[in-house]
């Protein structure tokens, strides 16, 4: 089955990230092959030398080491020339004492168009979009923010970690994980999909395999 990006003009969850050559502050790279075997977060920002975007880049850089611990890379994007990106990086280094270590895509508009980063009513600037792509190059999460709202980078870190744990352990993650109001730092066992499994759930809970409020709401402590 062909990737729906070419058909629809915008990616969907589960699509393979489209192959493209992009010019960045670290030279020309090919996506997603450049990050083969790694997760990556591609995030767009409206423009260089703008206040909210500057705070975001500093916040991303300060957490870059934590992303790398999750085998996850960062790459930024805006419809600006590479020269503007480089000069902006220099300004951040000189004035904020923060050196941006991840690449920034200098887009002519073609990448933004393919990924749906320019929204009607917001001019030609890209919105604050976030694409979380897994090690198999599949798009797992898409987040869109208006230009007026800066992103929470700890939340982006949280969702990368949560999806990796979910994949590895075949579990679901509750609201506000790992600080859920009902189950704390436990993870959710996917609900039963047949009568036999539903009947077995409470018996397995009695045996101490996990805890249940009912057969459809079971949870457990994640083994480390």
Q: What is the DSSP string of 111-149?
A: HHHHHT---TTSTTS--EEEEEE-TTSBEEEEEEE-TTS
Active site residue 212: no
User: Edge-to-edge, what's the strand order for the sheet holding 20-24?
Assistant: 27-31, 20-24, 104-106, 72-78, 39-44, 128-133, 139-145
- Residue of 53, 72, 212, 218 marked catalytic: 53
- d(C-alpha 6, C-alpha 11), whole Å: 8
Just list the catalytic residues. 53
């Amino acid at each position: 089955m062909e990737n729906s990006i070419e058909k629809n003009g915008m990616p969907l969850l589960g699509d393979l990230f489209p192959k493209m050559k992009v010019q960045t502050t670290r030279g020309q790279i090919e996506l997603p092959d450049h990050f083969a075997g790694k997760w990556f977060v591609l995030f767009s920002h409206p423009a260089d030398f703008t206040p909210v975007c500057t705070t975001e880049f500093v916040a991303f850089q300060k957490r870059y080491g934590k992303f790398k611990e999750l085998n996850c890379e960062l790459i930024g994007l805006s419809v600006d020339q590479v020269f503007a990106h480089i000069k902006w990086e220099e300004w951040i280094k000189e004035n904020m004492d923060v050196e941006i270590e991840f690449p920034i895509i200098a887009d002519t508009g073609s990448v933004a168009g393919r990924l749906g980063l320019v929204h009607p009513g917001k001019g030609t600037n890209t919105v604050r979009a976030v694409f979380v792509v897994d090690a198999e190059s599949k798009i797992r999460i898409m987040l869109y923010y208006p230009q007026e709202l800066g992103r929470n980078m700890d939340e982006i870190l949280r969702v990368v970690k949560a999806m990796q744990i979910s994949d590895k352990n075949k579990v679901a993650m509750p609201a506000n994980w790992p600080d859920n109001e009902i189950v704390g730092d436990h993870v959710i066992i996917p609900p039963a999909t047949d009568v036999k499994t539903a009947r077995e759930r409470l018996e397995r809970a009695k045996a101490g395999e996990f805890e249940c409020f009912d057969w459809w709401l079971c949870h457990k402590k994640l083994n480390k």
